[in-house]
Amino acid sequence: MDNTKSTSNDLMKQALMLYPSVLKKLVEKVPLKDKVWTDILKHAFFRSDQTGIPSVDHLINIYIERNYIIWRLPALQKLLRDASKLVIETLETNRSDAKDWACVRKEAFPSEKNEYAHLLVSDFSDSVASIPPENLQNFIVDPRMGEGAQNEVLVANPPGNGHAPRDAANRNPLAVLFESMLPWVHYGDGDGDGDE
């Protein structure tokens, strides 16, 4: 059990050495408000929230947006905190490690342009985009209209089998699409004579 724990600490340390900007973004997004995190982020190695490599920075932003919620678990926070402290201790004894990991990062992502720009961070978010209010107005019936609105509905969709064809010209295409799915709305056959 101890061996597994040291391995996970070593792997987390390696990840933090390779991608130090992840820590600052995680602390902000999760949010981690303990004093220990502000102390860790004061260290020069963890101060920046950018790596300077556009592809890496974009992938980190996607990772944070998609996975920040798992870092709210106390066990993972402890792992992250312990590995962060281990990174700081390592850098205090051997400053060249930071340069070595920066070289590894440059070799892994040599391009100066963002190769992942086609991936939007918002596509990886759990939040759902909503329809703007101005577009919703076409689908909301104003209760103050009362009988006028009811008469308008009866004229547009006569009761019974009176399938009077509706005119789709100069109307909101989305509203026409939704209405066309209703069995009692009839737009005509399109050939003008009504016979098949």
169 φψ region: left (φ > 0), alpha (ψ -120 to 50), beta (else): beta
Domain boundary among 124, 142, 171: 124
Q: How confident is the model at residue 153, as a pLDDT? A: 55
Between these two residues, 140 and 111, which has the higher pLDDT value? 111
Same domain for 56 and 145, yes or no, is no
| Domains held by the chain: number | 2
Write the pLDDT tens digit of every residue in 146-184. 555 555 555 555 555 555 566 777 778 888 888 878 777
Q: What is the pLDDT of residue 127?
A: 75
Q: What is the pLDDT of residue 62?
A: 94
Q: Determine the structural domain holding residue 115 and report its residue range.
A: 2-124
Please state the pTM of the whole predicted model. 0.61
The pLDDT confidence band at residue 93, using thresholds 50, 70 and 90, is: very high
Q: Are 46 and 37 in contact (CB under 8 A)?
A: no
User: Which pLDDT score is estimated for 95?
Assistant: 87
Which backbone phi and psi does 186 adopt, to 5 degrees? -125, 125
Closest CA to 86 of 7, 157, 146: 7
Q: How far apart are CA 21 and CA 63, in angstroms?
A: 12
| pLDDT confidence bin for 196, thresholds 50/70/90 | very low
In terms of pLDDT, which residue wins out, 160 or 102?
102
Tell me: do 93 and 143 sit in the same domain.
no
Is the distance from CB of 9 to CB of 82 less than 8 angstroms? Answer: yes
Within-domain flag for 15: yes
Residue 189, domain member (yes or no): no
In this prediction, residue 194 carries a pLDDT of 46
Q: Pick the more confident residue, 159 or 63.
A: 63
Q: Indicate the average pLDDT of the chain.
A: 81
